[in-house]
Amino acid sequence: MTSSTHATTGLAKKVLAVLEQGRLDHELGAALRSSDKSGPGHDPGDIAPYTERGIAELERLHKTDPENLRLIHHLAIAHHSRAWDWELAGDARAANEWKVALDFWRKLQTSGDFWRELKRKYQSCAPGAVDFAWLDETRAGLLEQLLDVHADFICSYAETGALDRARVHVGIVRKAMIPPAARGRLLGKVFQVITSAVPEARARHAYDSALTVVERFLKLFPDYLPALRLEAEVCAQWLAGLSYADDWDLIVSIAGRGRPWAEAQAVHNGLVDEPLAREALHDLGFRFAMLADNRGSSFLSARRRGEQGRVSRDQAAFAFMLGLEWGRLTYKTSSPGAAVRDRFAECVKGRAVLLRELAQGVSPQEAIKLCKEAISILHEAEAAIPGDAGIREDFLAPIEEQLSTLEDLVGLGFSSGGGS
């Protein structure tokens, strides 16, 4: 919207306010005075328009004349006013009152007669006026403008941690009968306001604080792809400065924290159309898989050198599994040859080596289970890296041979002893 359009819309609001202000009490009073008397001495004209009694009388009149646009207009304003009062008082009734008000506003928005009458009134104030594009624009954006305050409420309540109250307004925005583009603008505003401190936090390497802010938004809008992307980007940036040897517990903590949001991002319907969101997800998976592969491989390397090393076999097995799971979660929307695919395959190979070793010291039945698990994940690695012949030659073929031997042993009645 241009600055001139903003100025015209502002003028329009003022004109409409003047038009209504001069008629409001008179019209409503006349309507009330023309209504049925409820008893001796009752004077509806004494009822202030937007008190509880006034709203009740408006509702009664509306039931008998549901298409009366003046009544609908007064009811929209009255319920909106009462919703504000109840909201500021912390009254739970505000939630429904906002919805009632918006329903009345929508009836006005969709009424051609209402807007033709406004044009007529405007012409009486500005004779010769012929351009009403600004009024048409006001009509089209009326509900979005009315819902803008709900975006403000969401931001305010989120900042103070009152997420239950924020969710009331989230529901109002989500259920409002407005175009998807308008809803997108409202959600975009909320996202920008709530996450405004994230860039500075990232610059200060305050990643925990940055994620806390992003996750506050995601608790209200768990399917908002820009927020899911930002969560992935902050996690990946944090991981980039960590060491698998010295920061492993923190890495595992970040994995647990980021996993639910990464899962939501991986299955998001809009991911296919958002290359930056896909890239963020792939980068996050790659970094987890790389750190996990490095940690697990450090055990294998130390053992080959005949050293104890800093990582035990159980720790290596856990690391490979963590990398495998993150690779599995994130690589499938990546391009062939993507780094996350390679690291996923390396974690699979490391995990398969350890599973094969574990199969050496257990019963044939247990060894068969371990070999089958190794074969299953190796097939996944083949799917991720279809051109890697080494997966079959160096890993799958030996384990399949081991599995065949074990199954023969079980067939011959062996049920205990090593799996070699």
Say how many Å lie between the first and final Cα of the chain, rounded. Answer: 74
Q: What is the dihedral of CA 74, 176, 191, 234, to 10 degrees?
A: 160
Across 155-182, average pLDDT: 95
Helix axes 248-266, 207-218, angle to 10 degrees: 30
Of the ranges 34-43, 150-159, 316-325, which one carries the lowest mean pLDDT score? 34-43
Look at residue 31 and tell me whether its pLDDT is greater than 60. Answer: no
Look at residue 414 and tell me whether its pLDDT is greater than 70. Answer: no
Q: Each residue of 319-337: pLDDT tens digit?
A: 999 999 999 999 999 999 9
CB 94 within 8 A of CB 153: no
What is the total count of domains within the chain? Answer: 1
* Residue 306 CB neighbour total at 10 angstroms: 6
pLDDT number for residue 123: 84
CB 343 within 8 A of CB 290: yes
Give the model's confidence band at 51: pLDDT under 50 very low, under 70 low, under 90 confident, else very high: confident
Residue 26 inside a domain? The answer is yes
Q: Each residue of 213-245: pLDDT tens digit?
A: 999 999 999 999 999 999 999 999 999 999 999
Look at residue 39 and tell me whether its pLDDT is greater than 60. Answer: no
- As a whole-number percent, the residues of the chain with pLDDT over 70 amount to 86
- As a whole-number percent, the residues of the chain with pLDDT over 90 amount to 72
pLDDT number for residue 297: 95
pLDDT number for residue 37: 40
CB 114 within 8 A of CB 108: yes
How many angstroms separate the CA atoms of 151 and 131, rounded? 32
How many angstroms separate the CA atoms of 89 and 251, rounded? 45
Across 135-147, average pLDDT: 93
Look at residue 183 and tell me whether its pLDDT is greater than 70. Answer: yes
CB 132 within 8 A of CB 115: no
Q: Among all chains, which residue has been given the structure tokens 């802010």?
A: 213
pLDDT number for residue 256: 97
| pTM as predicted | 0.83
Residue 314 inside a domain? The answer is no
Q: Each residue of 277-287: pLDDT tens digit?
A: 999 999 999 99
Residue 78 inside a domain? The answer is yes
**Residue 206 CA from chain centroid, whole number:** 22
Give the model's confidence band at 22: pLDDT under 50 very low, under 70 low, under 90 confident, else very high: very low
pLDDT number for residue 23: 43
**Residue 265 CA from chain centroid, whole number:** 9
pLDDT number for residue 48: 54
Q: Each residue of 377-401: pLDDT tens digit?
A: 999 999 999 988 899 999 999 999 9
Look at residue 4 and tell me whether its pLDDT is greater than 80. Answer: no
How many angstroms separate the CA atoms of 400 and 341, rounded? 23
Residue 16 inside a domain? The answer is yes
Look at residue 184 and tell me whether its pLDDT is greater than 50. Answer: yes
pLDDT number for residue 69: 94
pLDDT number for residue 44: 39
**How confident is the prediction for the chain on average, in pLDDT?**
87
How many angstroms separate the CA atoms of 418 and 420, rounded? 6
How many angstroms separate the CA atoms of 285 and 325, rounded? 9
Residue 67 inside a domain? The answer is yes
CB 382 within 8 A of CB 359: no
- Three-class SS of the chain: CCHHHHHHHHHHHHHHHHHHHHHHHHHHHHHHHCCCCCCCCCCHHHCCCCCHHHHHHHHHHHHHCCCCHHHHHHHHHHHHHHHHHHHHCCCCCHHHHHHHHHHHHHHHHCCHHHHHHHHHHHHHHCCCCCCCHHHHHHHHCHHHHHHHHHHHHHHHHHHHCCHHHHHHHHHHHHHCCCCHHHHHHHHHHHHHHHCCCHHHHHHCCCHHHHHHHHHHHHCCCCCCHHHHHHHHHHHHHHHHCCCCCCCHHHHHHHHHHHHHHHHHHHCCCCHHHCHHHHHHHHHHHHHHHHHHHHHHHHHHHHHHCCCCCCCCHHHHHHHHHHHHHHHHHHHHHCCCCCHHHHHHHHHHHHHHHHHHHHHHHCCHHHHHHHHHHHHHHHHHHHHHCCCCHHHHHHHHHHHHHHHHHHHHHHHCCCCCCCCC
pLDDT number for residue 416: 56
Residues near 257 by Cβ (< 8 Å), separated by ≥ 6?
211, 235
Give the model's confidence band at 72: pLDDT under 50 very low, under 70 low, under 90 confident, else very high: very high
Residue 45 inside a domain? The answer is yes
Residue 75 inside a domain? The answer is yes
Q: Which of 133, 71, 132 minimizes the C-alpha distance to 107?
A: 71
Look at residue 115 and tell me whether its pLDDT is greater than 90. Answer: yes
Which has more pLDDT, 20 or 284? 284
Q: Each residue of 288-331: pLDDT tens digit?
A: 999 999 999 999 999 888 888 888 889 999 999 999 999 999 99
pLDDT number for residue 122: 84
Residue 325 inside a domain? The answer is no
How many angstroms separate the CA atoms of 344 and 231, rounded? 21
Domain containing 109 equals 1-140
